[in-house]
Amino acid sequence: MIVQIWHPSILLFLTLAAVPVMLLRKRKAFARIDNGFRFILLGSLILVLASFVDYAKVMPWGIAAADWAFGTPDLDPTWLILLYAPGAIILAAGLLSWLPAVHAVSVEVERRKQAEDELRAMFTEMRTLAVKAEEANQAKADFLATMSHELRTPLNAIIGFAEVMQLKDMSLDESRRSEYVEIIRRSGHHLLDLINDILDLSRVDAGKLSVDMTDLNMQAVTAECISYIEPLANRLGLKVENDTEAGLTCCTDRRLLRQILINLLSNAAKFSNEGGTIRVSSEVRGRWLKISVADNGIGMTADEARRAREPFVQIQTGLARPVEGTGLGLALVERFAGILGGRIEIESEKDRGTTVSVYLPYRSDCVTI
């Protein structure tokens, strides 16, 4: 049976016959690229007919049919050419009309894919921004809660002790009066420090801080800043060492340098254990002046060190925390160093201590500027 229907030309017929079948089955998929579809379908059907005739003319039943229909068992080859040629021409015309439409659809698919990728990226960015906004809101809430506590505590002390000193029916000896005055003075300075930190940050962010470069003796400036935190260091039994090289000079802004050193020294004192040591050093490293403040206090983890650079972030939060402040110390130091063209580095180990190094562009004097 198979021998009776087999001939190599049947492969061409079956191959061409699959084309219109596939086109008809996928008609809905081609709805958007209809240009040339009808021509392709018509041309493929004509080619299927031509291949079928080509196959039939060599089969016994085909020869018998040709003899019955045309009166001769052998068809003129011209008939095949007249079938193949129009089919091929119509199919080619359909493809020429269809391919640009296919290209347009592929471009549209690529555009939509790109739009989906951009949309996914936008959603990812939105989620990231939402997390950051939530963190910012939490930091703001923590800051407001802490600031209300920080402001009320010294204000209550000032008002309370001032009212006690005003009481006429309460006799105060000179030592008690001096003690109350000192508490009022210290509370006032604490309030001033809080307000100055916030104002400094706002001026830095607004770009309104001016820089006045001048020749400075690093050992003298460091000693001046150490004297500023001496009362706090004495209360905690801290030892502060000035290891700055004698005679080391640098051209930089005096006010910003003092702010950097005072903030670093204050932080080191606040987070040191009683009886600890704070060491300040300055040295020239190539084109940089390296200023380091090291303590052997409570230290920080890597994540805490990263967060400590952010404004208003305090590693120990809550109203019962033992350390006072706004959480602006390191944030201000980093901004002041940036204004002077420098940077900061933090090395810290939990329960072992922290070293903050500030790198400033080094010039031995301002004449070379």
Per-residue model confidence (pLDDT) at position 290:
93
C-alpha span between 150 and 324 (Å, rounded): 7
- How many Cβ atoms sit within 10 Å of the Cβ of residue 106? 11
Residues 6+ apart with CB under 8 A from 266: 229, 232, 325, 329
**What is the residue whose two structure tokens read 């000079």?**
249
- 276 phi/psi in degrees, rounded to 5: -80, 180
- Answer yes or no: are the C-beta atoms of 272 and 236 closer than 8 Å: yes
Q: What is the mean pLDDT of each run of 10 residues along the chain (369 residues)?
A: 59 71 66 64 78 73 66 66 77 75 78 90 90 79 66 78 75 78 80 75 71 89 87 86 88 88 87 88 91 90 79 53 58 86 90 91 72
* pLDDT at 30 (0 to 100): 59
Q: Residue 64 to residues 58, 69, 74, 351: CA-CA distances in angstroms?
A: 10, 9, 10, 105
Q: What is the C-alpha to C-alpha distance for residues 21 and 24, in angstroms, rounded to an integer?
A: 5
3-state SS, residue 54: helix
**pLDDT value for 317:** 41
What is the structure's pLDDT at 156? 81
- 């080509």: which residue's tokens? 54
CA 252 to chain centre: 33
pTM: 0.53
In this predicted structure, what is the pLDDT of residue 50? 78
DSSP assignment of 182-250 equals: HHHHHHHHHHHHHHHHHHHHHHHHHT-----EEEEEHHHHHHHHHHHHHHHHHHHT-EEEE-PPTT-EE
Rounded CA-CA distance 367/369 in Å is 6
Contact criterion met (CB below 8 Å) for 212 and 253? yes
Nearest in space to 352 (alpha carbons), one of 261, 271, 237: 271
For tokens 């690093």, the residue is 218
- State the pLDDT at residue 321: 39
What is the C-alpha to C-alpha distance for residues 259 and 245, in angstroms, rounded to an integer? 20
The confidence score (pLDDT) of residue 105 equals 72
The owner of tokens 């940050």 is: 201
